[in-house]
Amino acid sequence: MFTKSIFFFLCVISTSAYSQFHELGLFLGGSNYIGNIGTDRYIDPNSPALGLVYKWNVTDRYSLRGGFTFTKLTETEYNNSDLNRFRRSYKVDNNIQEATVGIEFNFKEFNLHDADFNFTPYLFYGLSYFRYDQYYILPNGQFNPPTYINYGKDEKIAIPFILGLKLNPNPLFILGFEVGARYAFTDNLDGSNPENQFANELDYKFGNIANNDWYIFMGFTISFTFGDLPCYCKE
């Protein structure tokens, strides 16, 4: 019994240290923003998004995941049914560079080394750090377009929530589809609530400045597997 316990312990240590299976791949999809400008639809990708994805599959139920995603958030008041906002004719045009880390949980066992077809829904939760454009908007009357004043870059934290479905046609690569929402710790992705040196300029603010902005990613992932096979230990 003692010998079996020692063997089991050493096998677990070996698995944890050296034998996890890794994935490296791409995210291809679209993005949209949710805030004080434009449509009220929550999932409405209107701009391309591209990313890199890395996963460290610790077990067949959860993985450590990281990635980088790049997009330009775009929106216009012409997509809104509110006549006053339509006349205001503001727009969003903001470049986003995001780094994300967190844990991905599989709803069912997802054995990457099984030659049979396999699939599972999954949930991801973590932390994002993103860089974006800071600007504010100056209205120029009803018949003239507004002026957009860009005053540099800033970095903020966001909380990502991702729900997806993935499958492995074979052990070498994995396909997935996912929708991810980011709650940003800023209300100025759209220029509605300027921060830093313009934080006290009340004339530059508009909309509901009590709520922060969100942005959404939706698209496909394709990743390729590599690394040693894990040690499946049995008592």
Burial (Cβ within 10 Å: 0-12, 13-18, ≥19) of residue 82: exposed
CATH number for the region 2-226 comes to 2.40.160.20
Q: What is the pLDDT of residue 16?
A: 43
Q: What is the pLDDT of residue 17?
A: 40
Distant-in-sequence, close-in-space partners of 54: CB < 8 Å, separation ≥ 6: 22, 23, 24, 65, 66, 67
User: What are the residue boundaries of the structural domains of the chain, listed by start?
Assistant: 2-226
Q: What is the pLDDT of residue 141?
A: 72
Per-residue b or e along 84-117, where b marks 16 or more CB atoms closer than 10 Å to that residue's CB: ebeebebbbbbebebebebebebeeebbbeeeee
Per-residue pLDDT in tens (0 to 9) along the chain, 235 residues: 434 443 443 444 344 444 458 999 999 999 999 998 887 788 999 999 999 999 999 988 999 999 999 999 998 877 666 666 666 778 899 999 999 999 999 999 888 777 778 899 999 999 999 999 999 999 887 778 889 999 999 999 999 999 999 999 887 889 999 999 999 999 999 999 999 888 888 888 988 888 999 999 999 999 999 886 555 454 4
Q: How far apart are CA 131 and CA 133, in angstroms?
A: 7
Burial (Cβ within 10 Å: 0-12, 13-18, ≥19) of residue 62: middle
Q: What is the pLDDT of residue 116?
A: 78
Q: Are 132 and 153 in contact (CB under 8 A)?
A: yes
Q: What is the dihedral of CA 122, 123, 128, 134, to 10 degrees?
A: 100
Tokens representing residue 222 in the block: 């394709």
Coil vs helix vs strand at 134: strand
